[in-house]
Structure 1
Amino acid sequence: MNHTGTWVRDSGITVTGPGDVYIGAVLQDSDKPAFRRFAEDQLRRLRYVLVAPPCMGEARAQLADSGTVILDGAPGSGRSAAARVLLHEHHRDSGAFHELVPGEEGELSLHDPALVGSGDQLLLDLSAADDSRWAAAQADLPALRKTVHEQRAHLVVIMPPYGVLDPDLQYCRVMLERPPGIGVFRRHLRLHGVPPEQYVRPDGTVTAFLTAKRPMREIAEFADLVRRAREAGQPGDGFGQWCEAAWRARNDGRREAAALVSKIREASQRALLIAVSMLHGAHADVVHRATQQLLSLLGLPPEGDSPLQHRDLAERLLEISATVAPNGQVRFEKLDFDSAVRAHFWDHMPDLRPHLGTWAGSVVELNDPHVVTVVRDGLVERVAGEYLRTGRADRLGNLVEAWSTGVTSRPRLEAAVHALTRGLADPAHARNIREQIYQWCAKRRLKGELAQVLVRVCADVLATSHPDQALVRLYHLARRERGTTRARQALYELVTRSRRLHRVLLNRLAHSDFSPANLGIFLQVSDPELLTLRPGNSHALVEEQSAQRSLTACWHAVLTELPPPQWQSEARRWLHCAAADTGPLGGLLLDLLVGAAQRCTEKRGTTFALLYACARDAERTGPEDAARAAETTGVLLHKISVAQGIAPATPTTSPRGTRP
C-alpha cells in the first residue's frame, strides 16, 4: 500500500457562519514535500517497470524533435504509462509535470498561453474522450503546440482509440502496440524481488492467463498476487504453486467468500469477518476491539454475557478461515481472501455501507498502540476503494465530510485526507472527486475542519498533477477563510514554486472584485523578492508587461480600498527590496507603486504623501545601509514629483529605473 506522508495535528474546532469558511489549526505543518516526492518516486518506478512497446523509440524521437507526440493504440496497451515515462525523461528543474483536463473547473483553455510554463511536461489524456471532445481538443492543438514550442516544453497527447486525426497532425502520431505480456509480467516480478531463475521457465498457469491479451494493469495485478503468494507460501513451494494460488485467488475468491458468509449466520462472527477483511494484517487486539465497535454501532449484543463465556478469538478466527501469526497479526489463510470478503459484503449487503464508513471513523481513533499509521491508512484505503469500485464517489465525499465535521480529531482528519487522496488517484473517478473539491472550496458552506482537509489535499496532492486546479481551489478557500491565513499561506507557497502560476494568480486577482479578502491575498503573493527573482538566466516576473498591469491594478485597489495600516507594511517591503536592488528592478518596483498611486484621482496627493512616509519609515527599518535607503527615498520622491507634474521627467540610464 502507498502512503503519502501527509498528517495533521490536534486543535480546537470552529464552525462556519453564512458564506464563510472558518479554518482552525488542526491540519498544521504537514510534511509538504512528502507527496511530491512520492509522486516523483512513482514516476521513477513506472520508468523502471515499463516494458517499452514497439515504436517507443519512434515516440521518443518525435517528442525530442518537435516537442509533441500523439500516441495511438488499443486500450490496455500501456499508452498512459508510456506517456508518463516519455515526459519524465524530459524532466528539468525549470519545468513541472501537469495533466491537462480541458473543460474542468479551474483549467485554462488549451489555446491560452498561460497554460504552459518554461520546460513543462504536459499530458493531455483523451483516451476516453467522445468525438465532440476530441474534435474540440484538436482545434486547440495548433495553438497549444505553438506555446509548447516557445516555452521549450514537451506535450504528449493520448488520442481516443480509432479516433480520426487531422491530416496536419498525422506526422506527430505514433501507434504504440501492445508489448509482450510475458515480458511485462516478468518485469513486475523482478521489481518485486523474485529471482529470475524462479520464473524464466514456462508455466501453464501464466500462459493461460496471458493468452487472453490482458491489459497491462491486470498483468501487474496478477504479478503482485504471485508475489504475495510467494511470501505467504509454504517452504518448498515453487513458482508453479505460487501462480496456481494467485489464479485461484483471482477467479475463485468471490465464490468462496459468498459460501463462507452463507455458512456463518451469527452476527458476531459476521462482524469479525468484516473486521478482519477491513483490517487485514492488523494486530488481534485491534481486530477484536473493532469487532466490538461494529456490533455496538449496529445495536447488536456482544457474544455471551460474560468474557468467561465467550469463545476465544483463536476459535472464532478459525471458523472464518483466519489465523493469528506469532507477531499478533490477523490474516486470512487464503490469498487475497480479504478483498473477496469486502466485495461480498459491500455488494450484497448495501445497507451496511453507511455504517461501515462511520465505523471506520471510530476505529482510526482507537487509543491502542497497535493502531499505527499503516493500520489506519489501510482501513481508509479499503473503505474508499469499495466506494470507488462500486462507482459511488459521491458517497465517498459524504464520508469525508462526516469525518471532518462535528467532534473530530487528528486521526479522523488524517483519514479524510487519505480518502480524498485515494479518490484523486483513481483514474475512473478522479474527475468527479476534483469537481467535488471545487464545489466545497468555491460554493459550499463548510463546517468543522473540512476546509483544513481541503487545504492539505489541494496543496500537497492535487498540486502535483493539476496545479492550475489546486491554485483555483486554494484561492477560493483563501478568500473565504476567517480567523486564520492557512489557505492563503498554502496558496502563496504554491506560486513560489511556479512563475507561471504566480502570473495566473496575479491576473485573476487583477480581474477580481477587489474585496478585502482578495486584496489581502494580493498583498501576500506580491512578495517583491519573489517578483524580482531571476531563476537561471531568465527575466524576472516583474519585468513582464502583463504582470506589471496586474500589479498596478491591484496596488491601485489596495491604496483606494484599504486603510493605510493594512498596506503600509507591504509597501515598506517593496521599498526595502528596491533599496537592496542594484539593477533596474528596484526602480521598476518604485514605478509600479507610483503608477498605482497616480490612479487614485481624488486621493492622489494623500496617497503620494503616505507612500513618501512609508519610504522614510523604511529608511529606519530596512536591512540596507542608511545611504542606500535615503537614495531610494529620494528616487521615489522624484518619481512622485514627475507624476504630479512638478518636476521634469529627466531620462536616465541609472540602474534605479525609469517610468514604464
Structure 2
Amino acid sequence: MIQRTDTRVRDSGVTVTGNGDVYIGMQLRDSDKQAFRRVAEDQLRRLRYVLVAPPRMGEARAVLADSGTVILDGVPGIGRSAVARVLLHEHHRDCGVFRELPAGEEDELPLHDPALVGTGDQLLLDLSAADDRRWAAAQAELPALRKTVHEQRAHLVVVMPYRGVLDPDLQYCRVVLERPSGIGVFRRHLRLHGVPPEQYLQPDGTVTGFLTADRPMREIAEFADLVRRARDAGRPGDGFAQWCETAGRARNDGRRDAAALVAKLREAPQRALLIAVSMLHGAHADVVHRAAEQLLSLLGPPSESVSPLQQRDLAERLLDISATAAITGQVRFEKLDFDSAVRAHVWDHMPDLRPHLGTWAASVVELNDPHVVTVVRDSLVERVAGEYLRTGRADELGYLVERWSTGTTSRPRLEAAVHALTRGLADPVHARDFRRQIYQWCANGRLEGELARVLVRVCADVLATSHPDQALVRLYHLARRERGTTRARQALCDLVAGSRRLHRVLLDRLARSDFSPAHLGIFLQASDPELLTLHSGTSHALIDEQSAQRSLTACWHAVLTELPPPQWQAEARRWLHRAAAGTGPHSGLLLDLLVSAAQRCTEKRGEAFALLYACARDAERAGPENAVRAAETTGLLLHKISAAQGIAPATPPTTSPRGTRP
C-alpha cells in the first residue's frame, strides 16, 4: 500500500478516498501476497464505513439473509457494486472467503459446477456490464449455482445489467436499489477526510451546483477528495467555501487551462518539462529534470549544446509552466489537480507522443538516482496506465507490459510491468479484458524474457485475491509450460495449500489431463499428504472425499506408469512417512491409494508393487518416526500389496495400536 497526496484512490470497481491515497502496487517480493490481501480486506472494511446505504438496501439485506442470494438492479452509478461488497462483507465468517465469480470466461469452471463454491464463501457475480447473450447464459446457470450456495451455507450477490430481463422464477430475489442522497454521500466522504461537521454542514453554492446533476457515486467521491486536497494545499484562514471553490475550478477549468498553456509553450524543452512534471508530479526536481532530458533525447537528436552557465535555471523554467519546487525539492503545479489535466490534454491531443511515453516511462523507472524511490516509480506507472485505460486502450497497455517484460529488462522495469497489470485488473471497465489477456499469455502466448515471471506474481498475489479460480487456471498453464524453473508450480501449490476447494479443483484438472511429465510434476508437488489429511476445522479431510480419491489414484497410476522411479520415489516416501505418523484412518487410506494406483498398472503391476515396497523400506531408514512404527507401516503396505494380488486376506492379521487399519 502506497500513500500519496495527488492521485485518486481506486480498487476493483470501488473508489475509496481518505487522508492520502491508497494505491495497490505489487513488487517482485515474496511478502507481497499477504500485503495485497491485507489491503483488499482493509478496503472492504473501509468501504463498509464510507458507504451511504441507498434506499432499499435493508430489503436487499433481508433477502440475502433469508435466501442466501440477492439480485441487485438499479440505475448505473448509484453504487450497486459497492452495496454488493458491503452486503457480502457483513456475512464474513472464518470458514469462507470473499471473491468474485467468473462468468463465461475462457477455461473457467461453469457457474453450475459445485466445485466453484466453498463452505461459507461470500460470492459476487458482477454482470452489470454484461450483454444480453452473456446475461442469458448466466441466468440459465443461476438455479444450479444457488442450490450449491445454499448447500454450502454461502452467500451470493448478483449485480444484473440495467434494464436486463430477469427470469420470473428469480424475481423474488431481485431488489431495485435507488439513488442515495448525493449530499449525504459527499458529506460522508468529507467526514472520512477529517473535515469538521460545522464546515461541511453549511450550504455552499459550488457543492449545490455540482450535485444538481445526478452524479455517479464515484464522481462524488472524487470531488470530495478534491475538496480535501484543496484544504491541504490551501492558505491559512481559508474555509470550506474557498476549498470547494478551488476544487470546482480544478474540476471545471483544468482541461481548458492545460490546453491554453500547451498552446503557449512552443519550444520542445518547455513541453518536455511540462509532460515530465505532469507524469512525475510530486517527485524531486532532479528526477523531473533528468526525465525531461530523457524525453527530449528520445524524441529527437539533442539540440546544440549550450554551456550550463548560459542555460536558464530549473526554477525559471518551472515558472513558465506554472510549477514550483518546494524547499524539499518536490515539484508540483501551482493549481490543484493540474497534473491530471495536463496528462489528459497531452494524451488526447498529441497522439503521436503516446507510443514514446511507454518507452520513456521504462527508462525513467530505471534511473539510477536516490530520489527515484518506489513511490515515484509506482506513481509514474499508475499515471501512464491510467491514460491508456481512460481512453479505452487496454490492448495497448497490455502490449506495453509485454514490451517491459521481454528483451533486455531489469527489476524496476519488471516491477513496472507488474504494477501496470495490477492497475488494469483493478479497473472496473477493463478488468475482464486484462484477465482474458493474462489467460492468453499463460495458456498460449510466447513467454519470452521475464514475462512468465511477471505473470506468476500477478496471478499469485493480485488475481488470487479476488479471483482465485482464475488465478489457479493461469498458474496451472504457466506451470505446465515452464522450463528451467518451478516458480509457477510453487505459486500454484501455495495457492491451493490455502484452500481445500481449490486443491480439489486442481486434482480434478490434473486427473483429466494428458499426464505429460509437466502435469505429473505438478501433481507430485501438489499431492502433499499433510495437506490431504488436514481437517482444518471441518469434519473431514480432502482425502476422505471420493472424488479426491479418484483423482489421486488416477494421477498416481500415471506417475507409476509414465515416470522413471527416481522422479517419484521421494514423494512416495513422503506419503509413507505420513502414514507412519499415525493419522487415524488416513494412514491406511494413504497406503490404499498407492496400492490401488499400482494395481492398475496391468503388465507393470508387479514391478510397481516392488518399487513401492522398496520405497517403504527406504522410508523406514530415513523417516522421522520411530523404527517400530515405520516397520509396522511397511508390514501393512506389504499386506495390502499381497491382498491386491490375491495371496492374502483383505483384513490384516493385526491392527496397529495407533490405528492404521483402513
- Structure 1-normalised TM-score? 0.95
Change (3 A) 1:153 1:580: same
Counterpart contact for 2:26–2:422, Cα < 8 Å: no
Indicate the residue corresponding to 1:322 in structure 2: 323
Indicate the residue corresponding to 1:52 in structure 2: 53
CA distance in 1, matches of 2:55, 2:544: 46
Alignment of 1:504-519 (within 5 A): 504-519=505-520
Q: Secondary structure at the match of 1:411?
A: helix
Alignment of 1:141-156 (within 5 A): 141-156=142-157
Indicate the residue corresponding to 1:2 in structure 2: 22
CA distance in 1, matches of 2:659, 2:24: 47
State the shift of 1:163 in Å: 2.2
State the shift of 1:444 in Å: 1.1
Change (3 A) 1:394 1:198: same
Q: Deviation digits for residues 561-616 of structure 1, max 9, x if unmatched?
A: 00000000000000001111241011101000000000011111111011001111
CA distance in 2, matches of 1:6, 1:499: 26
Indicate the residue corresponding to 2:110 in structure 1: 109
Q: Deviation digits for residues 527-557 of structure 1, max 9, x if unmatched?
A: 0000000011321000100000100000000
Counterpart contact for 1:268–1:302, Cα < 8 Å: no
Instruction: Report the AA paired with residue 160 of structure 2.
Output: M
Indicate the residue corresponding to 1:295 in structure 2: 296
Q: Deviation digits for residues 21-70 of structure 1, max 9, x if unmatched?
A: xxxxxxx5343211111111111111111001112122112212211111
1:494 aligns with 2:495: yes
Query: Please, which moves more after superposition, 278-287 or 96-105?
Result: 96-105
Alignment of 1:396-435 (within 5 A): 396-435=397-436
Indicate the residue corresponding to 1:16 in structure 2: none
CA distance in 1, matches of 2:188, 2:167: 36
Alignment of 1:165-204 (within 5 A): 165-204=166-205
Q: Secondary structure at the match of 2:54?
A: coil
Alignment of 1:287-436 (within 5 A): 287-301=288-302, 305-436=306-437
Q: Deviation digits for residues 366-409 of structure 1, max 9, x if unmatched?
A: 11111111111000000000011111111111111111112211
Query: Please, which moves more after superposition, 126-135 or 442-451?
Result: 126-135
1:598 aligns with 2:618: no
Indicate the residue corresponding to 2:163 in structure 1: 162
Indicate the residue corresponding to 1:269 in structure 2: 270
CA distance in 2, matches of 1:415, 1:626: 54
CA distance in 1, matches of 2:655, 2:254: 79
CA distance in 2, matches of 1:401, 1:95: 35
Q: Secondary structure at the match of 1:602?
A: helix
Query: Please, which moves more after superposition, 276-285 or 225-234?
Result: 225-234
Query: Please, which moves more after superposition, 168-177 or 422-431?
Result: 168-177
Indicate the residue corresponding to 1:631 in structure 2: 632
CA distance in 1, matches of 2:360, 2:22: 22
Alignment of 1:33-52 (within 5 A): 33-52=34-53
CA distance in 1, matches of 2:181, 2:637: 70
* Aligned-CA RMSD value: 1.4
- Structure 2-normalised TM-score? 0.95
State the shift of 1:204 in Å: 0.9
Indicate the residue corresponding to 2:538 in structure 1: 537
State the shift of 1:93 in Å: 2.1
Task: State the structure with bigger RCO (CA 8 A, min sep 6), 1 or 2.
Answer: 1
Q: 5+ residue gaps in structure 2? A: 1-20
Q: Deviation digits for residues 59-93 of structure 1, max 9, x if unmatched?
A: 11221221111111111111100000111111122
Indicate the residue corresponding to 1:79 in structure 2: 80
Query: Please, which moves more after superposition, 53-62 or 273-282?
Result: 53-62
Counterpart contact for 2:117–2:149, Cα < 8 Å: yes
Indicate the residue corresponding to 2:71 in structure 1: 70
Indicate the residue corresponding to 1:563 in structure 2: 564
Q: Deviation digits for residues 497-521 of structure 1, max 9, x if unmatched?
A: 1111110110000010101010000
Q: Secondary structure at the match of 1:323?
A: strand
Counterpart contact for 1:401–1:450, Cα < 8 Å: yes
Instruction: Report the AA paired with residue 224 of structure 1.
Output: D
Change (3 A) 1:302 1:65: farther
Indicate the residue corresponding to 1:246 in structure 2: 247
Instruction: Report the AA paired with residue 432 of structure 2.
Output: R
Q: Deviation digits for residues 175-203 of structure 1, max 9, x if unmatched?
A: 21111001100111111122222111111
Q: Deviation digits for residues 213-235 of structure 1, max 9, x if unmatched?
A: 11101100110111111111111
Instruction: Report the AA paired with residue 7 of structure 1.
Output: Q
Change (3 A) 1:222 1:303: farther
Query: Please, which moves more after superposition, 310-319 or 121-130?
Result: 121-130
Identity, in percent, stands at: 84
Indicate the residue corresponding to 1:22 in structure 2: none
Q: Deviation digits for residues 307-338 of structure 1, max 9, x if unmatched?
A: 11110001100010001111111001111110
CA distance in 1, matches of 2:31, 2:480: 22
CA distance in 2, matches of 1:492, 1:133: 32
CA distance in 1, matches of 2:583, 2:192: 54
Counterpart contact for 1:6–1:30, Cα < 8 Å: no
CA distance in 2, matches of 1:619, 1:423: 52
Indicate the residue corresponding to 2:485 in structure 1: 484
Q: How many residues align?
A: 640
Q: Secondary structure at the match of 1:512?
A: coil
Q: Secondary structure at the match of 2:32?
A: coil
CA distance in 2, matches of 1:385, 1:565: 51
CA distance in 2, matches of 1:454, 1:384: 17
Counterpart contact for 1:574–1:589, Cα < 8 Å: yes
